[in-house]
Structure 1
C-alpha cells in the first residue's frame, strides 16, 4: 500500500476519526492507544471501505474486539470459524434470533476480511478461501439448526437406497456452485446453491407423515430466508437458486435419482460448465460426494472432447453479445479481457481434456492454471500472464466491492472514486492504475482469442479487398471514374449509388469519429463494396446495407466483427438484399450482427426445448430484481430468433408450418419466463396467494393463448391474444408480511405481465397484447377466476366467443389449472347447438368483420371471374380468404364436436381439418384443398411481412383458390352464395 494518502481521502478519514472518538470516552481512548502500524491499517481500511467505516461507527465493539484479540493478524481455519458460529447459535431459540446471529457474525468477519485484504495482510487465495469458509459455515450451521427444529415438529425424514434396505434418516445435501463451489468467493458475492436429498421416503415421529421432498422443500425455503432475507441487520448472503435443474421453474429440492436422471437426459453444455465448480458445502457431506462422483461423467467426458470446441465458441459469442448489449466494457468481470474470459480459458481445457487428465478435475482456477502449464497445454509465459492478470483483476474486484459491500465489478464513473480505487490498488494516480489494468486486460484478450480461434478456418476470397474499391473509398479517383467503376461492377444506377457513398464518405459524423474508428471504416468499406458488387442486385444490396453502416459509425467494434469474419459479411449482404425487414432490424439493433458469427445457428433455428433452455440460460445471469435487464434480455432473445427465422426463410430451409411453430415457440418461451419473473417480483413483496387456508397457490395461474398464438400459427409481427385465469381462494389473502387480497395479487400479476410484454424500451416492444377476448371484453376484469370463467362461458358468452375458444390453449402456468381449463373448454364447445341459429350467428359475425376489415370493391357483389389486376384481395379478411377457412373449422367444431369429441383435441386449423376428414364430416378432397389453400395464403402473408408489404395482393392471383373456399362455405352453411349472404 502506498504511503501517501490522497487529500480527499485524508479529509474523509479525519472526519471519521473524529466521529468515532466522539462516540464515548472508551472509543476516544481506544484510538489514542493504537500503535502506528495499526493506525495506518485502520486508515487504509476506512479509506477504502465506507462499509467498514460505517460498521465500526455503528458497532465500535467489533473493531475493539478484533484489535484486542489479534484476529486481524491471524489466519482462521474453517473449523475455527464454524465452531465460533455454532457456539453463538446455542442461545438462538427462534428463527429471528438465528437470522440476527448469522448477520452479526458476517459483519464481524466481513470487517476482519476487508481489513486484511485492503492492507494485503492476506493474499488473494486466503481472502477468497476466508470468504468461502464463512459462507460454508453459515450455510451448514443454519441448515443444521433448522433441520433439528423441523424434525421436532414435522418428524425426521427417512429413506432407503434400495427396496429391501432398511430406511435411514435423511439429511439435505447442499451443493455450492460458481465461486462458492470453487472456494473463490468475492467480498460481496451471491451464493449459487443447489438443494437435494439422497432418497425418497417420508417423515417419522410426528402426528402426520410428510413426503421427504415436501420436508426438504420447507427446509430449503427456511434456509433461504435465514440467509437471504433483509432484516434490520441486513442480509447474511444473497442466495441464487437458478442453477438447479430446470432453473426457476424446477423443484426447489430434488432426490439424487432425479438429479442423475436430469443431467443424463437434459443436461446442457452451460450446465457442464457450472458443474465443474460444484462442491458439497453443507449437509450430508459423504452422500453429497457420492452424488458428485455419479455426475462426473456428465461433466468430464471419457475421451478428449474436441466436440466441446463448438460449445466454447458459442459461449464466447454469448459473452461478447452480453458485453455489447449491456455496455459493459468497464466491467472487469464480463467486459473484454475480464475475469470471465480467464475462467473461460481454464474451463475450456477442463472440458476438453478433463476426462483424461484427472489433474484438471479441480475447482480452483489457479490450481488448474498451474496444471495446464505442467501438462503443456499452455506455455509458461501465457500461464504467468493469466495468473498475474487474475490476481490483479480479483483484487480490483474486491476493492470495488469493499466500498459499499455491494456486488459490482464496474469501474467507478467519478474521478474521486477512481482515485480511491487507484490508491487502494497501490498506485500513485489513476493513470498508472489504468495503464496496469489495460496491460493485464490486453494479455487476457490475446490468450482468450488464441484459445477459441478456429485453426481450420480458411481465409475468404473477400478477405483482401480489391484495389479498385480501396481507391474509390479513399477518394483517389475523379468522380466520373468512380461512377464508371460502379457501373462496370454491375450497378444499374451507378450515379445514385455513388451519391449514397459520397454522402457517407463526406458525412460530418465520419469526419468527427476517433482515429481508431476512422481506420476501421477505411479497412471495412472496400471489403463491403466488393461483397456488395457480387450480389444479384448490387444497387438494392448497397441501399439496404448502408443504413446499418451509418448506424454503427460511432460503434465500430461491430465493423471489426465483420472484418474478422468475412463469411458473416457475405451473409449479411445476402440477407439484407433479400429482405428489407432484416436490413431495418439490424440497422435499428446492430447488436444483432452477433448472430452472423454462427451461420449454422443462423439458418438452423433450435427446437422448442433448446429454445426454452437458451432463454432460461440468458436470464439466469441477471439478478432477479433487475427487471430492466430482464426485459432487455427478453427483447434481444426475440429479435435474434425472428432474425434467424427470416434468414431461414430467405435461404428456403424452413417450410411454412415450421415457421409458425418457431414463431409460436419463441412467444411461448418468452411468456413462460415472463410469468416466472412477474411471479417472483410479486411474491417477494406480498408472499404467495392462497388456494385454501393452508395451501398456497403455486402459481394457481395460467396464461391462455387465443387466435394465432393459440392456433400455433403466429406470423411475423403477430400480436398476442391473451386471457389470464387464476385459481386463488375466495376471500383469501397472500401469506406475506404485506398481505393483499388474492384478486388484487392476480390482477397485479396480470398487469406486470402485460407491462413486460408491451412496454417500449431501448430495444423496442416485445409484443402488442390484445386482451379483448377475456370475459366481458374490455369492460371485464383483467384476470378471471376459474369459476367465473366457467360461468361466463356457460351463461353469457356469445357464439363468436365460443368460436374464439376453439383456438384457445394454455401457454404457461399451473398444470393442474391447465387441465381444469381443458375440461371447461371441452364441455363448453361440446354442447349441442341449434344449427340454424349457429349458422346465423357465424354469418352475422363474418359480415361485421368483412364490412370493417375487408376490401370494399372485392369483398362482395363482384363475381370472381370479373376480378382483375386493378382489384385487390386481402388475403386474410376478404371473401374466400383466411378468415373464411378459420370460420369453417370453428363452425364445424361447434356444430359437431358434441358427437365427435376428437374435434376438440386441437386448436389449430390444419389438424382440425384433418380430424374432420378422419371423422368423415367433410369430404377428404375438400379438407385437403382447404389445408393447401390455407397454407398458401399464410405463406404469402409471411413473405410479404418480411418484405414489409401489405396483406393485399392483386385479386386475380387467387381466383381459383377463392372459388374453392366460397363453394365449400356455401355448401356447409347452406346459403345461396357467400357474397349474397354477407352483403344483405
Structure 2
C-alpha cells in the first residue's frame, strides 16, 4: 500500500511546486509531515531545497519536526531560511542546536550592536568587559564562524519573513561585521602577547561604514594607530601592523567552518602600496596633500567599528571636515565623472545586463548619484551628511535637492535591488551580484520575492523596470538642484538659494553663473509642456555643457535653439526621446561657435543629430543632384529668380557644413575627410551658381551664351583640402563657340563670372562663399576671365616658376566639363615639365619661399605658432611636396595629384623621400590643419595662428581631445611636430 500512497502524494506535491515530487513524497512520508507543514514547504522559494535541508536537520535533531508543527512562527522562519539558503541549511545541519534561535520571542527581536559584540567576543573566549579583551582557546577561529553564522540565520529568519526592513538588515549585518572585527582583533591580541604599545582603531568603510552591508561582502576597513604614552612610535606601529594583519587573518582565513569574508584595506592612503597602518596625523597629511577625489567620496562612509573607540572617533571627526569640502577641489566634477566611467568600463560586457550592482541602472548608479549630490551640497547643508544611501536620499528629498517622486522611485529601486542582492548571496553565502540566467534560479528569486503566478516573468519585468528608472534618474539627478534654484517645481518644492546655485554653476565651469541662472529660469519657468521637457533635460544638459570647452556658450545656444523650435512638436519629441541627439547638441553647442551659428540659422538641422547615419558625409553626386533640382525650381519659372535659386543652394551648403562640423567635433571625421567634405559641397555650390548665372545672363542677352565657361579650382580648394574658413581660390576660363565674336564671348563670360561671384557672396543668413581669382595670370591686374587660347599664349610666353607651382593645385570644379579637361591638358606640361625644372628654377623657388617667410608673416606673429607660414607649418610641407612634383612629376605619373599627402606617399614609394621624413611632414601637416580648423570651429573666425589667449587655447585643446587643464600639451605637440618638420624642410627643400 505504501507505493500507491507515495504515487498519489507525488502527484499532489508536483502540483504544489516540488520539482522532484517522487523523492519529496518519500521524504514527507518518512518525516510524517502533515498537510500544513507540506503546504508551508511548498510556499518557500525552493520547496525541494527546503524539504531536503529539513530532512537532514531532522536526522541530527528529530525534535525539529514536532517543534515546527507546534510553532507557526518557527515554521515560517526556519522554512523560509531553508528554502532560500543552501549554505545556512548546511550550517544548521552541522550545528542543529542553532535552529532554536528561530524559536520564541527572541527570534523576532533585533539584537543591539552591543549584544552582537558581546556574543562574538564570548564565542572566542574574550571578556567583553575588558578594556583590551583577549581571546583564548585553539578553536577561536571556528567558534567565531559558528557564532557568526548562527546570527546570520537568526537575521535571515526575520528578513525573509518580512520582520526586518532592508535598512534594518543592512544595519544589523554591519553591526555583526563590526562585532566579528572586534572578535578578530581579540584573537590577534591573544596571539601577539606583546607589551601593548599601540592603540589601534578599525575604521569601517563602504557599506560596513554606512551600516548597509550585504550578507556576503568584502569588508572595507582602514587602520589607524597611535603609540601609547611613552612608547616608541616605530615599534608601536609595528605592533599595530601585526595586530591588523592578525585581525584580517582571523576573519579571512579558511577553516573547517569556512571563512567569514575578506577584510579589504585597499582604501587606505596609497592603496595596497601604502603602509597597512598609519597614525592619525599621517592619514591627515596624506589626505590634505595627495588624496584624489574618489578617496574623499570613499571617506564619506568612514565610521569607527572596532578597536580603540576614542581614537576612531577622532579619526572620523578629522576626516569629516575634509570630506565636506572636497567639492571645492579643482576639477571635482570631472574627477567624479571619470571615476564613474572607470567603474562602468570594468564590467565585462557579457555581464553588464545581469549585473545588479555595477550594470546600467544598478545599485552603484543610485549610490553614485546620491553621493555626488551629498558631496556638492553637504558643504552648506549638514542635514545631508548621512553615511547610508536611503537616509541620505530622504534628506536630499526633504531639502528640495531631489524631487519627491524621483526620490521615491530611486528608494523603491534601491530597496528592490538590495533584496535581490541579498537573495543571490544567501543561497551559497558567496559574494555575487550577477542575476543567473537559468530558469530554476530565476524562479527561486521570484518566489522568494513573493511572486507566485509567474515568478520568472514578474521578477524579470520588475527588475528591468527598476533598472531603467534608476538609470534614467541617475543621469537626471547629477544636476537637478540647479533647476530648483530658478524654477518652482511641481509640489512647490524647496529651492536652493541663488548663492548656492551660483556656486554650483561656478564649480561646473560656468564663467557667467548669473547669466546661466537667467537662461535656466527662462527655459524652465511656467507650466507649459515645453517647460516640463526642459526641466527634465536641463539637469543632464548642464553637465554635458560643462564637459565641453565653453559651458556658457552651450547653455546660451541651447536657449536660442529652444526659443526657435520649442513649440515645434517634433523637436519636443526629439529632446524627450533621443538622448543621443540632446547629448550631441550639448557637446556641439559648448564646443563650436561656428557650428552653433550654423544651427541657429536653421535650427531644424538638430534633427540630424539623432543618428550616426545622418552625420555621414553625403556623396558629391547626391549633393549635386539636390542642388540642380533647387536651381531648376527657381530658374524654370517665367520670373527666373537667380538670387533665390542660389540662396537655396547656399542653404544646402550651410546644412552640409553643419553636418561636417558636427561630425568633426564628435570625432567622426579625420582632417583629410573634413577637407574632402568641405571641398565637395563648395564645388557643388559653385556649379549651381554658375548654372544660375548662365541662365540669368542668357535671359539678359536674350540668347544662348556664345562661349563655353568653366571654373578651375586652385589652392586648397583644388587640393581637396578646403577648411571651414577658406576662400575659394579659382580661375575662370572660357572658349568662344564656333563663329562667335570673341569680344562678345569674352563679355558674356565676364558677366557669368561676376554674377557667379555676386550670387555666392551676397548678404544672406548663410555663410558667404568668396571666389578669389587672385592666382590668375597677372594676378589682380589681369583680366578676370581669359579664353583657353589666351591662357595658352600667356603660359607659353610669360609663365614663371611660381605660376607652374600654383598650377599644381589646379583642377576643374564647375561649368563646362569638356572645357575643364582641355584646360587641364593645356597646363599639365607646364606644371609637370617632362624633364623637370632646372637648377635655376629650383633656386628661384627657394628664393621665393625665403622671401615669403620674411615678408608675408604678419607683423608680430610668432613664427613658431603660425600654422600656414610658420616654421614647419602648412606652407613648409606643401612647398616640399610641390618641389618634388616640379622636379619629377613629368616622368612619374604617380606624382600627378593636387593633394599634399598623396604626393608625400608617392614620393616615398618612388624613393624620392625617406619614409621617416614623409611621416614627419605628414604629421605636421595634419596637426596644423586640425588646429586651423579647430580655431575656426571654436571662435567662428578664421585664423592661421595657434591661439595665445589662454581661454581660446584651452577651448581649442578641449575640442581636439585634450583633457581639461592640458592646453600646454597642445602647444607642446604642435611645436614638436613643426620643429621636426622644419628640420626635414631645411634638409630636403633648401638642400
- Shorter-chain TM-score category? 0.3 to 0.5
TM (normalized to structure 2)? 0.47
Q: Normalization by structure 1: what TM-score?
A: 0.47
Structure whose alpha-carbon radius of gyration is higher: 2
